[in-house]
């Protein structure tokens, strides 16, 4: 019922783990498949190892989740054995996620990660938490997005997915730029810039002071972004942001998403978060006599 | 987790708990703990949690507690909370002055304290596991459980004895932690892929035996592998 084909690859269900949540090790990612996701995205990987920011790097409450991990990762050379390990533990589709400080470096990391057993390459041009370090996130500029997409396309041996930011005021334009530069799909969205203050200590909670908002508060924002992008492009979309229930997932499909990225739900519902969403989606589909997700994709338009 | 704004936030075990107040036992190590030692009475720190699993409380069992370093903190707390259980408490340190809780542990009824030091400055000279093995050989009780906390290689030696004597066992698996609640993936262990912050730190013998990396390696803040 939930079987989904995305860029010619079969997913047992449309839920993919979003980048950066439990994505540090191959074994950790394989466990995510075991507990119900249809596919996984690795944590975003860079050329060199990065320690990330000091703690606290994240916090959550009933309404939102907030993080500024600072893109910690072991660097591409050390990440490749983890991806190989992941492949040895699961047959499910693997999305490798990368980021870099310049367009050229995106090309280098793309080439290297494609030597590993990934099925798709997701390009994170939209992390709001390292802006000062890398200059303005690339995701705000159609020119930057075009340049990076073109370079990564020439180096990649697998389909390329560009991950966009809701902080860009013109996300549909950006998606169009990515499509015309050759992107095979879009992931929308990354986190929205935000912060939280601890009122006892009178200071920001995150060591980075500002971070990215995800979780339930992000859902209506993500839904509108996906809705707008679906209107603007023909390539498929991984709808990501605040999905914690089956109803959220169905709405995201109706906005036009093909796959559903799920991350912060892990905070809200722990190990049952994926099976809960798929069970609730199936329940809704049965009640409404919907036999495949194809039937309802984009029907909100 | 204990937080000092602008410095860092790290996990600590609860060392003392009477229902109204609780205490931590902290070794001075790096930036966070050094800062903590500079604070004054009445200064505030941030506390979140508790997170993760704790040791089983089974008053009808004979406990063999094996502690090294600040591992004496959670086990001291456990010993005080189990009412009525027979306890053999083996605590090891490099030398007498580094030994924790000698007086506190002596006050607990039904607790037999065994001390080992590397240099022989107190108790038996040698390793905690030597003492443990002698006890296991000489005492014959049908309900026994080994619980341990301390340096990983000490804990894997205790786990090996639990396997040898086919005894229930609980170990405490410490990995670098960022979130403490199962989101960041920093503390995940091979090959099970489970989080030590939520599914641990305390893990049963069955689970611990499936943790391939135990006693072999852990990971730094980047996620890179560091051998023990
Ligand atoms: C589940 C869990 C429970 C813990 N309980 C306690 C506790 O009850 N009391 C306590 O004092 N600490 C405990 N720790 C360790 C604590 O979280 C910090 O890592 C430690 O206090 C050092 O912090 P720091 O920032 O001061 O120093 P850092 O800068 O992190 O460390 C300074 C040096 O010490 C080394 N180091 C750090 N942590 C350890 C360690 N655990 N073992 C060996 N070397 C280490 C580092 O590699 C570094 O070289 C626990 C850790 C975990 C995961
Ligand atoms: C702790 C955390 C770490 C993240 N790290 C990354 C990352 O490394 N790369 C990336 O592209 N997105 C990262 N994200 C963004 C997520 O992939 C996702 O786009 C966002 O959280 C919205 O989905 P959600 O509400 O389901 O979490 C991270 C999110 C969280 C919560
Ligand atoms: S510390 Fe983040 S998952 Fe365990």
Residue B156 pLDDT exceeds 70: yes
Same domain, B7 and B91: no
- Tell me if B16 is assigned to some domain: yes
- Tell me if B77 is assigned to some domain: yes
Q: What percent of chain B has pLDDT over 90?
A: 86
Same domain, B67 and B41: no
Residues in chain A closer than 8 A to B10 (CB atoms): 55
Please give the Cα distance from A299 to A295 (Å, whole number).
8
CB nearest to A267's CB, from B1, B10, B183: B183
Residue nearest to atom 11 of ligand 1 (CA): B26
Residue to mutate among A55, A68, A267, with most B CBs inside 10 A, is A55
- ipTM score over 0.90, yes or no: yes
- Tell me if B54 is assigned to some domain: no
What integer pLDDT is reported at residue B102 of this predicted model?
87
SS3 content of chain B, % helix, strand, coil (to 5): 25, 30, 45
Laid out side by side, the sheet with B62-68 consists of: B124-125, B111-117, B86-93, B62-68, B144-149, B168-172, B202-204
Residues in chain B closer than 8 A to A198 (CB atoms): 5, 46
Total structural domains within chain B: 2
Architecture of the domain made up of A4-295: Alpha-Beta Barrel (3.20)
Per the structure, the complete domain to which residue B14 belongs is given by 2-47
What integer pLDDT is reported at residue A128 of this predicted model?
60
What integer pLDDT is reported at residue A212 of this predicted model?
96
- Tell me if B181 is assigned to some domain: yes
What integer pLDDT is reported at residue A138 of this predicted model?
81
Please give the Cα distance from B225 to B228 (Å, whole number).
10
Residue A131 pLDDT exceeds 70: no
Task: Identify whether the C-beta of residue A218 lies closer than 8 Å to the C-beta of residue A189.
Answer: yes
- Tell me if B52 is assigned to some domain: no
Question: Residue B79 belongs to a domain with what CATH number?
Answer: 3.40.50.80
Same domain, B33 and B136: no
CB nearest to B188's CB, from A27, A57, A79: A27
Same domain, B117 and B8: no
- Tell me if B53 is assigned to some domain: no
What integer pLDDT is reported at residue A130 of this predicted model?
58
Place of tokens 């980047």: B222
**pLDDT tens by residue, B36-59:** 999 999 999 999 999 999 999 999
- Tell me if B56 is assigned to some domain: no
Which tokens in the block code for residue A98? Answer: 């990368």
Same domain, B210 and B99: yes
Q: Domain-by-domain residue ranges, chain A?
A: 4-295
Same domain, B140 and B86: yes
């Amino acid at each position: 019922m939930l079987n989904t084909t995305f860029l010619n690859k079969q997913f047992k269900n449309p839920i993919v783990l979003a980048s950066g949540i439990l994505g540090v090790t191959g074994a950790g990612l394989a466990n995510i498949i075991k507990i119900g996701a249809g596919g996984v995205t690795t944590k975003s990987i860079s050329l060199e190892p990065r320690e990330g920011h000091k703690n606290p790097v994240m916090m959550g409450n009933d309404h939102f989740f907030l993080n500024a991990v600072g893109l910690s990762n072991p660097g591409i050379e050390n990440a490749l054995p983890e991806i190989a390990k992941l492949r040895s533990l699961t047959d499910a589709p693997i999305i490798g996620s990368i980021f870099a400080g310049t367009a050229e470096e995106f090309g280098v990391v793309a080439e290297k990660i494609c030597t590993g057993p990934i099925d798709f390459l997701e390009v994170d041009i939209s992390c709001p938490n390292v802006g000062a370090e890398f200059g303005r996130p690339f995701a705000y500029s159609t020119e930057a997005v075009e340049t990076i997409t073109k370079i990564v396309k020439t180096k990649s041996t697998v389909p390329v997915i560009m991950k966009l930011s809701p902080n860009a005021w013109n996300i549909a334009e950006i998606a169009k730029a990515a499509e015309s530069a050759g992107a095979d799909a879009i992931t929308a969205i990354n986190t929205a810039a935000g912060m939280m203050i601890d009122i006892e200590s009178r200071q920001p909670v995150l060591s980075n002071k500002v971070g990215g908002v995800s979780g339930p508060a992000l859902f209506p924002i993500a839904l509108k972004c996906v809705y707008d992008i679906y209107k603007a492009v023909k390539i498929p979309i991984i709808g990501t942001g605040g999905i914690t229930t089956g109803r959220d997932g169905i709405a995201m499909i109706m906005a036009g998403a093909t796959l559903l990225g799920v991350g912060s739900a892990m905070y809200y519902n722990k190990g049952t978060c994926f099976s809960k969403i798929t069970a609730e989606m199936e329940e809704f589909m049965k009640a409404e006599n919907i036999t495949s997700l194809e039937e309802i994709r984009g029907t909100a338009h | 987790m204990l937080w000092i704004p602008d410095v860092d936030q790290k996990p600590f075990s609860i060392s003392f708990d009477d229902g109204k107040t609780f205490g931590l036992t902290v070794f001075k190590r790096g930036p966070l703990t050094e800062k903590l030692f500079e604070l004054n009475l009445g200064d505030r720190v941030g506390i979140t949690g508790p997170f993760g699993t704790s040791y089983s409380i089974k008053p009808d069992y004979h406990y063999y507690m094996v502690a090294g370093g600040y591992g004496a903190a959670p086990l001291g707390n456990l010993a005080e909370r189990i009412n009525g259980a027979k306890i053999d408490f083996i605590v090891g340190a490099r030398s007498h002055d580094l030994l924790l809780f000698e007086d506190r542990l002596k006050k607990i009824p039904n607790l037999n304290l065994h001390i080992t030091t590397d240099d022989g400055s107190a108790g038996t000279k040698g390793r905690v596991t030597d003492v443990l093995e002698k006890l296991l050989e000489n005492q014959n009780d049908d309900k026994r459980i080994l619980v341990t906390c301390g340096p990983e290689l000490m804990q894997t030696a205790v786990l090996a004895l639990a396997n040898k004597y086919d005894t229930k066992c609980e170990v405490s698996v410490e990995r670098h932690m960022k979130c403490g609640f199962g989101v960041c993936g920093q503390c995940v262990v091979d090959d099970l892929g489970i989080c030590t912050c939520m599914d641990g730190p305390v893990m049963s013998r069955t689970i611990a035996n499936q943790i391939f990396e135990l006693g072999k390696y852990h990971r730094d803040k980047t996620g890179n592998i560091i051998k023990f």
